[in-house]
Structure formats: C-alpha cells, structure tokens
A and B are shown apart, each in its own frame.
Chain A
C-alpha cells in the first residue's frame, strides 16, 4: 500500500506539473491580468493616481472619510473581500463621478458623494465599483484598448506624461460595455444584500441621475455608466425578490458631513 501511495503522489505531481506547464502556453490569447502581472497593474494604478493627484486635491474631511471607510469595510467584510486590498481614494471635486483604476483602486469625487441622498445610495455606487474590480473589468478594458505591449511600456513611464493623462481621461470619462455594467450591477446587488443594505438605493440613485433636469450638465458617472434607467429597473426588480431584513447603514446626518 505504501508503494501505491508513493506512486500516487508522484502521479499527482506529474499530472499537476504537466497541467501547469501547459497552462503557461497562451492558447486563447489570454487577455487577463495574469498576462500583464499584478505588479505591473499596481504600477500603472500608482502612476494614474499620481496623475490624478496633480489635478485634484485629496479630500481631508475626516468624518466623511471615516463614514466612507466604514461603508467600504462593511461591504467587503460581508462578502469575503479583504478591505485593505482595495484602496479607496476620495478627491475634492464637484464632478459627479466615481471610477476604478488598475491595481484595485476606487476613486470617488466629492461631487458624487454630495449628489447621493444618503449613505446607502453611495454604498450602492461603491458596491457597483467593487463589482468592476471583482470582475477585472478595468484591465480587460485597458488590454482591449491599448494592448499588452503598450501597458507593459506604460508601467515604466513617469507620471505627468501625455499618454497617462489620456488613459486617465479614458478610464474616468468613457463607458464600460453594457455587459460589463450589467455584471457589475449583479455583483453590487449581491454585495449589498450580503452587507444588509437595500439595493433599491442604488436603483434610486441611477434613476435620479438619469432624470436630471435638462439643461444641467450630465454627470460624468452617467456618461461612464450607460443605460441607467434600464439598469435601475432591473435593480428594483431584483430588490423585490429579497427577504428584507436590511440594517441601517449610517445613523448620522449624511448631508451634514459636507458642511
């Protein structure tokens, strides 16, 4: 029996070795971050963040940052995500926008936070952005748009270059595909439900932002997140099937956080 066990061990190792060695071959033209490498992704993210910091001031409202951190941790912890593996950056700007940058970075502008009616609406948007991270949409999109070689070259650039500025502009002002938006919405619904937050608030936010008075400038978050009305309807539909039992997210006065 000992001989059989040893031979089984060797066979399993051989099996795993062949499987692993073959998986290194790019059969399907793999466009995942595994090709690029997490380290390169992180470097690109850092460069884009530096670029952003040159343009915007980081928010220093401690009470607001504490509430955002609390929401971030509640969603992550309820869904088995390590909250410290995802960095949340808040920038002072009237721009109504939030986006995801490579290297597991979420950027939020205070304009969007002020536009949210309550903490739960922001939690909905944040869960949606976390959905983009979980589904690896940013790197998929960057590889599709720029190609692996450019991205690898980019990781060696200096912040401040024209190319980085353009990439940042693309990531923060142009849309993901509809399919990717839908995937991020589904993830958001899942995350919110697990965290005991009613996803209806995300639907409310989407609906409200899509019906902004004509003549007013369309928020950036709408141009980067298309089909808001349809998506809001889908979120309301998903919310109807839930058991309820949602818990309060933030007892304080949301609007007072911006005073």
Chain B
C-alpha cells in the first residue's frame, strides 16, 4: 500500500515543508469536505497550482495528493449524490446504498491514515509512494 523508494535527490527544508503541507491541505478541508467533497479537491488543487513550479519533491507530492483527492472526490460524490437521490428523489434506502456508504467510509479512513503518515514522513524528507497513485504520479510528474 505504501512504499519508500529512494528519491533522485535530497530535498531541502522548504520542499519538505511544502510537500508535507500538500497532504495537510486535504486534512484541513476534511470537515467541510464530508458533505461537499469538492472542497477537498479544490483545496488540494489550489495548493498544487501554487506549487507547480516548485522543486521536484514538492511537485511530486502535490501531484500525488491531488490525484488521491480526485479519486476520493469521485467516491464521495457518489455517496452524496446517492444520498440526495434517496432524500429528494425516487431513491430508496437499500443494502447496496449502506454497503456503498461503508465502503466509501473505509476508503476515506485508509486515505486519511495514509495522508497523516505521509505528511509526517515527507516533512522529514522521506519519499512515500502510495499504491496506484504513486505509479500514476511517476507517469505524470517528470523531473
């Protein structure tokens, strides 16, 4: 789920701080992001745009944080949409809905724990690659 491959260079203090902050962004926004998942994505997205010209270490982690938020956004948007459909549309409370809710909650919880862990590690300059998002980031973010 989480790997620590070597990074091409030793990041400086400022890069470590910014990389760590990119993860903290999504944590700070999480309270608002629960009912409105777009907020998390926006927070990370804005931070990504602000740092796209930064050092490779910062850019890499901003990208990973943003990609993970896009995925979480899709999952949470599904939850919010389905809930609204039940409350205001023709949807009915079903086992599929509750199962989706629990699955989404589990994904959020795993992502939350991974985010805290990664924020701490990157602050110390340790490179952390996540399952799926790591290889995706490697493909997108070039040195």
Contact = CB atoms under 8 A, between A and B. Distances in A.
Chain B binding surface, main DSSP class: helix
B99 A3 contact: no
Contacts of A22: 98-99, 102-103
A7 B93 contact: no
B7 interface: no
10 nearest A-B pairs in the assembled complex, by CB-CB distance: A22-B99, A23-B99, A4-B135, A7-B132, A27-B98, A3-B135, A4-B136, A19-B103, A1-B139, A23-B96
A28 B98 contact: yes
Interface of B: 93-96, 98-100, 102-103, 106-107, 131-132, 135-136, 138-139
A230 to B, nearest CB: 22
Given A23-B95, A27-B95, A11 B102 contact: no
Nearest to B71: A11
B99 A11 contact: no
18 contacts: A3-B135, A4-B132, A7-B131, A7-B132, A8-B136, A11-B131, A15-B103, A18-B103, A18-B106, A19-B96, A20-B99, A21-B99, A22-B103, A27-B95, A27-B98, A27-B99, A28-B94, A30-B95
A187 to B, nearest CB: 12
Interface of A: 1, 3-4, 7-8, 11, 15, 18-28, 30, 32
A4 B94 CA distance: 33
Contact of A19 (B100, B131, B138): B100
Given A15-B103, A15-B107, A19-B100, A25 B132 contact: no
Contacts of A18: 103, 106
Contacts of A15: 103, 107
B94 to A, nearest CB: 6
Contacts of B106: 18
Nearest to A23: B99
Nearest to A8: B132
A144 to B, nearest CB: 15
Nearest to A17: B103
A26 B93 CA distance: 12
A11 B134 CA distance: 13
Given A1-B135, A3-B135, A4-B136, A28 B99 contact: no
A8 B133 CA distance: 9
A22 B104 CA distance: 12
B139 to A, nearest CB: 5
